[in-house]
């Protein structure tokens, strides 16, 4: 559309495919420009929200699995695993790429069809402009977004190499089409080749993913009749957490969940809260698709239901404490019995509390098991609601136990201030230290490897009580741990006498009873009584015994719960409890699916801020929910992805995106005309940025959360290639065939488009060269993203400079300041 010349009596800025709906050409240009800009931004929000549903349908389709049975021998039942039907590479280059690029592709198609099959500037310009922003702008943000001095590498390097080559080849081919044999004319065969490059790209990328030509055997996965596959390279769909499989046959494995429940119970949480943490860990630990991150980014700025569970402050503190170092040994399987041939090191108590004015106080670390050797352990502080440097002095110290030493102390310092603060917590964590030859082989961490420290203002000796009136233990647990609390103060050393009392469980048969004195050192708030449980392997009924507290010393008093019943259940009954928690965890995970299975849930989430999670909704969630409510309510009537395997939602969403994209094209064209921008400039700036911003936030989140860079920038080159092959190849094919049937030629002026493509190709080669250099250079951390601060920010600045150079040079050429080809 030709830019407005500044007069009010022309109709130049009132001709588009759909808009304007009313006669508005007599309105002041400033008012019209503001309204069209507002409408454009609002429609960008609408496109992002319907794309959320569209990507949810794609996620549903591509996550489809089928069960495969693997033989484990004649005497065993076959193992059942779930495998994905869709290859990840094929899914990324077809449905995923279409999902992220649908607005640009549809805009190009709609522009040509709505313009009587004549070429326009908005569609092609948006495709090239989006490609430039994706490759240079998004890469710059992702390079700088990695926390600390970490670096991220692209894992699927072979596939990335294929898509990178095709992303350059695609634009070189466009230059040849526009300025080659048939200059300024797109012939049918050229359009056909452009379109056919898409399946060629997908096939070659699939071969690269399977290892061809490096590993030909992986490609030959089918027999001649195509009905038999080799399962050697199939990877089951399982969720791994800290190296352990938390799912089995698509459901949470109760045995693995038990470890999480016991971890969390030592931090003072209920089983239900432990199930929440397990669900959160399950979702955040497994690999996610680009669609998942794209949906998450959209929901953040629209105030919709988040793709991750929202944790309370307390649960977040516990989760961060447990997972501060996810690779540490203490996060592996818990030790059921004390190994006699190894030294076991742990804290003396689970928790302690100190007044804010205490200054320095000791923390006791004990060793048992093997004691005739020298071992070491690292103790460090982890922030909770109390922050290191503000509320306490951070600690990171190696403690050495010499031969025959069984107890050591470390000193923790609390920082006092004059401001009122509620009780705050931080954590101490034990981890094993390494040696020159690797980790120590003769030392393990005990059950209490994380200790909670509460900072309070109370110097009373405290009240000693049980935490609960009863607990349930499995008969094969080995040792029952009975938590004893010290409340309302923790000053000085106190103790309490305990003893077991037989009920229908008899000491020496169902358990090994006894009595003793439990000592709380100064500031300690929580300790455990350990009672061995006997497993007779008989299908007995539940057995019960009691533990009784009495005779407190040191000024402490007994609390309200001085007797605790311990119920010993057989494994089957205990498993029923764990199965219930597993079902709760599975329900939490299922509730976080990015797609909806029913209209009811889809409409409910659309009507409520943060999907109904009012407790964790922020002010920005309320604001964005209010602004986007109209779109969310309208699109809630799109068929949910749970119907027909997601395909109905896929096609209906695609149609809605197409209709909305037509309006976006009109709004952008008329707005650019009103403010004096050519369509080519509007396309590479406003429209390209508006359609790519969700990808920017999604890539940034993926860069920070993923171990590899594939979901951050690895898919950019593939998406850019698909944009050309579908976004230009398909409409050019339609238009060239139409004109050929009329005996005419489909003309596409090289002009500004050819110049823009040439500049982009040059900057794209430089950008990819930078990524290669970063991968190979130690100075850049040998990764495409992150690395040392100096080189990472220099790389980001270089990429942003390339993008700005592309925009400025393309704009100058459009207005005649640079001579075009």
When mean pLDDT is compared across 461-465, 583-587, 652-656, the lowest value belongs to: 583-587
Distance CA 463, CA 460 (A): 9
Range of the domain at 418: 343-456
CATH number for the domain harbouring residue 422: 2.60.40.2030
3-state SS record for 424-450: EEEEEEEEECEECCEECCCEEECCCCE
Asked if residue 423 and residue 472 are part of one domain, the reply reads no
Asked if residue 515 and residue 419 are part of one domain, the reply reads no
CA nearest neighbour of 595 among 105, 62, 42: 62
What the block records as the tokens of 399 is 């403690």
Contacts within 8 Å (CB) and 24+ apart, 734-737: 734/109, 734/112, 734/113, 734/117, 735/112, 735/117, 735/118, 735/119, 735/186, 735/191, 736/186, 736/187, 736/188, 736/190, 736/191, 737/188, 737/191
247 belongs to a structural domain: no
Distance CA 594, CA 572 (A): 35
Per-residue pLDDT band for 373 (boundaries 50, 70, 90) equals confident
CA dist list (Å): 635 to 2, 49, 56, 302, 638: 34, 8, 13, 13, 5
Asked if residue 766 and residue 713 are part of one domain, the reply reads yes
Q: Domain ends where: 430, 456, 482?
A: 456
227 belongs to a structural domain: no
CB 654 within 8 A of CB 103: no
CATH number for the domain harbouring residue 190: 1.20.1420.30
Asked if residue 648 and residue 558 are part of one domain, the reply reads no
What is the pLDDT at residue 109?
Answer: 92
Phi, psi (degrees; rounded to nearest 5) at 532: -65, 140
CB 227 within 8 A of CB 106: no
The number of distinct structural domains making up the chain is 3
pTM of the model: 0.67
pLDDT, tens digit (0-9, with 9 covering 90-100), for 775-796: 999 999 899 999 999 999 999 9
Is 222 exposed, middle or buried, given 0-12, 13-18 or 19+ CB atoms closer than 10 A?
exposed
End-to-end CA distance of the chain: 22
Distance CA 244, CA 259 (A): 10
Asked if residue 521 and residue 445 are part of one domain, the reply reads no
| β-bridge partners, 480 | 531
225 belongs to a structural domain: no
Asked if residue 492 and residue 396 are part of one domain, the reply reads no
Asked if residue 173 and residue 84 are part of one domain, the reply reads yes
Asked if residue 490 and residue 384 are part of one domain, the reply reads no
pLDDT, tens digit (0-9, with 9 covering 90-100), for 226-242: 444 444 444 444 444 44
153 belongs to a structural domain: yes
- Work out whether strand 438-439 and strand 434-435 pair parallel, antiparallel, or are unpaired: antiparallel
Residue 275, pLDDT above cutoff 50: yes
What is the pLDDT at residue 464?
Answer: 93
pLDDT, tens digit (0-9, with 9 covering 90-100), for 728-742: 999 999 999 999 999
The DSSP string of 389-402 is TTTB---EEEEEE-
Asked if residue 66 and residue 170 are part of one domain, the reply reads yes
What the block records as the tokens of 56 is 């949810």
358 belongs to a structural domain: yes
Mean pLDDT for the stretch of residues 479-484:
88
Distance CA 728, CA 121 (A): 12
Distance CA 447, CA 331 (A): 10
Asked if residue 426 and residue 525 are part of one domain, the reply reads no
682 belongs to a structural domain: yes
What the block records as the tokens of 429 is 């964590």
Q: Domain ends where: 525, 555, 574?
A: 574
9 belongs to a structural domain: no
Per-residue pLDDT band for 500 (boundaries 50, 70, 90) equals very high
Percent helix, percent strand, percent coil in the chain, to nearest 5: 50, 20, 35
What is the pLDDT at residue 229?
Answer: 43
Q: Domain ends where: 441, 456, 471?
A: 456
CA nearest neighbour of 123 among 504, 684, 628: 684
Asked if residue 720 and residue 670 are part of one domain, the reply reads yes
Chain length of the chain: 821
CB 251 within 8 A of CB 80: no
What is the pLDDT at residue 43?
Answer: 94
Asked if residue 474 and residue 398 are part of one domain, the reply reads no
289 belongs to a structural domain: no
What is the pLDDT at residue 555?
Answer: 85
What is the pLDDT at residue 351?
Answer: 83
């Amino acid at each position: 559309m030709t830019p407005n010349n500044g007069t009010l009596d022309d109709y130049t800025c009132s001709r588009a495919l759909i808009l304007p709906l009313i006669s508005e050409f007599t309105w002041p240009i400033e008012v019209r420009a503001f309204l069209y800009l507002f409408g454009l931004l609002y429609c960008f929000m609408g496109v992002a929200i319907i794309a959320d549903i569209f990507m949810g349908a794609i996620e549903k389709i591509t996550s489809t699995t089928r069960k495969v049975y693997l033989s484990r021998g004649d005497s065993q039942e076959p193992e059942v695993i779930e495998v994905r039907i869709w290859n990840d590479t094929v899914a990324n280059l077809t449905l995923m790429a279409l999902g992220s690029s649908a607005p640009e592709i549809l805009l190009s198609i709609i522009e040509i069809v709505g313009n009587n099959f004549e070429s326009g500037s908005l569609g092609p310009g948006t495709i090239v402009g989006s490609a430039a922003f994706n490759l240079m702008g998004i890469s710059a943000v992702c390079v700088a977004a990695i926390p600390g001095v970490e670096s991220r590498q692209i894992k699927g390097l072979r596939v990335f190499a294929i898509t990178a080559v095709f992303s350059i080849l695609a634009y070189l081919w466009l230059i040849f089409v526009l300025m080659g044999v048939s200059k300024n004319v797109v012939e049918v065969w050229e359009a056909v080749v452009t379109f056919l490059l898409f399946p060629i790209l997908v096939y070659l990328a699939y071969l690269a993913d399977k290892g061809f030509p490096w590993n030909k055997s992986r490609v030959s996965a089918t027999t001649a009749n195509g009905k038999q596959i080799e399962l050697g390279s199939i990877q089951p769909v399982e969720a791994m957490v800290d190296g352990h499989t938390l799912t089995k046959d698509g459901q949470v494995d109760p045995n693995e969940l038990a470890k999480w429940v016991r971890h969390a119970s030592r931090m003072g949480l209920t089983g239900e809260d432990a199930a929440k943490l397990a669900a959160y860990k399950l979702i955040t630990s497994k690999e996610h698709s680009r669609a998942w991150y794209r949906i998450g980014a959209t929901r953040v700025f629209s105030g919709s239901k988040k793709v991750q569970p929202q944790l309370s402050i307390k649960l977040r503190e516990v989760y961060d404490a447990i997972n501060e170092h996810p690779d540490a040994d203490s996060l592996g399987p818990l030790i059921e019995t004390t190994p006699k041939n190894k030294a076991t090191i742990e804290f003396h108590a689970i928790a302690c509390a100190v007044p804010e004015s205490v200054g320095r106080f000791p923390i006791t670390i004990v060793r048992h098991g093997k004691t005739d050797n020298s071992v070491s352990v690292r103790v460090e502080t982890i922030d909770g609601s109390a922050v290191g440097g503000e509320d306490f002095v951070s600690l990171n110290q190696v403690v050495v136990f010499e031969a025959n030493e069984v107890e050591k102390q470390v000193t923790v310092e609390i920082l006092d201030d004059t401001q009122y603060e509620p009780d705050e917590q931080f954590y101490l964590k034990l981890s094993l230290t390494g040696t020159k030859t690797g980790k120590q082989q003769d030392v393990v961490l005990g059950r209490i490897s994380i200790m909670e420290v509460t900072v309070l203002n109370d110097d009373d000796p405290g009240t000693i009580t049980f935490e609960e009136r009863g607990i349930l233990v499995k008969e094969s647990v080995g040792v029952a741990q009975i938590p004893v609390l010290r409340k309302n103060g923790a000053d000085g050393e106190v103790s309490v006498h305990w003893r077991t009392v037989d009920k229908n469980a008899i000491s020496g048969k169902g358990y090994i009873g006894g009595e003793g004195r439990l000592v709380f050192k100064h500031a300690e708030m929580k300790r455990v009584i350990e009672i061995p449980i006997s497993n007779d392997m008989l299908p007995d009924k539940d057995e019960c015994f009691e533990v009784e507290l009495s005779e407190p010393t040191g000024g402490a008093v007994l609390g309200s719960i001085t007797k605790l019943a311990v119920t010993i259940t057989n494994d089957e009954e205990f498993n029923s409890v764990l199965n219930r928690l597993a079902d709760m965890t599975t329900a939490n995970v299922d509730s976080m699916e990015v797609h909806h299975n029913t209209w009811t849930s889809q409409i409910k989430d659309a009507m409520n801020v943060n999907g109904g999670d009012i407790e964790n909704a922020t002010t920005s969630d309320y604001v964005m929910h209010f602004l986007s409510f109209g779109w969310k309510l309208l699109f809630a009537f799109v068929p949910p992805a749970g119907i027909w395997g997601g395909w109905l939602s896929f096609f209906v969403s695609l149609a809605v995106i197409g209709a909305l994209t037509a309006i976006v094209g009109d709004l952008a064209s008329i707005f650019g005309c009103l403010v004096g921008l050519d369509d080519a400039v509007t396309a590479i700036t406003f429209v390209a940025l508006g359609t790519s911003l969700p990808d920017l936030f999604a890539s940034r989140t993926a860069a920070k959360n993923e171990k590899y860079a594939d979901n951050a920038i690895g898919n950019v080159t593939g998406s850019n290639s698909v944009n050309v092959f579908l976004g230009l190849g398909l409409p050019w094919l339609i238009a060239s065939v139409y004109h050929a049937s009329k005996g005419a030629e489909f003309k596409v002026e090289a002009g500004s488009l050819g110049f823009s493509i040439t500049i982009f190709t040059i900057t794209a080669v430089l950008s990819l060269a930078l990524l290669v250099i970063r991968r190979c250079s130690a100075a850049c951390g040998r990764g495409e993203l992150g690395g040392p601060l100096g080189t990472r920010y220099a790389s980001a600045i270089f990429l942003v400079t390339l993008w700005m150079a592309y925009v400025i040079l393309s704009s100058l050429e459009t207005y005649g300041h640079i001579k075009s080809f």
